[in-house]
Amino acid sequence: MYCLNIFIFIIVIAISSVISEQQVAHKIPHCPVYSRPMLRPNGDVRKCLPHQLNLCLNALEDSALIDTSGICCYHNQVDYFCCMDIPARLCPSYRNVTVVIHNNFPQSQFPVRSFHFRKGVEKEIADGIRAAAASRN
């Protein structure tokens, strides 16, 4: 009986430690280690969308001292954030990402849908359709 109580006690401790480990929140950085996030006036990190870098650039102060080549819309596996000081080779291109903003005016009975495609996608689609049609003939 004594051994059974000890065994149950050990099992309870083991299960509680596993449960407590699973409930620990992990802090995911907004930007890569070597860069800095762009902040809003209220101190929150500024968000952006793929192919919409203007959301970051429009927030810059009108100063010739700011290098805009290091500004990037960075995806940290949770959301998209404006980050500074990222080398161009490390800035994601979002080549296969399309942003769709559905019902961006919720008060409207006939909502407007906005589609933000990467530049050049229309030509790629047209070329693909022509190539498919040519291969059938």
Domain locations in the chain as residue ranges: 27-94, 98-137
pLDDT of 46 reads 92
In whole angstroms, how far apart are CA 94 and each of 22, 39, 51, 73, 91? 32, 22, 7, 10, 9
C-alpha 77/C-alpha 99 separation (Å) is 16
pLDDT of 77 reads 85
pLDDT tens-place values along the chain, 137 residues long: 555 556 565 665 666 665 555 666 778 888 888 888 998 889 899 998 888 888 888 877 765 566 777 888 888 888 899 998 888 787 888 777 766 666 556 666 665 656 666 677 778 877 888 888 888 77
How would you classify the pairing of strands 114-116 and 99-101? antiparallel
Q: Maximum Cα–Cα distance for the chain, whole Å? A: 84
Report whether 69 contacts 18 (CB < 8 A): no
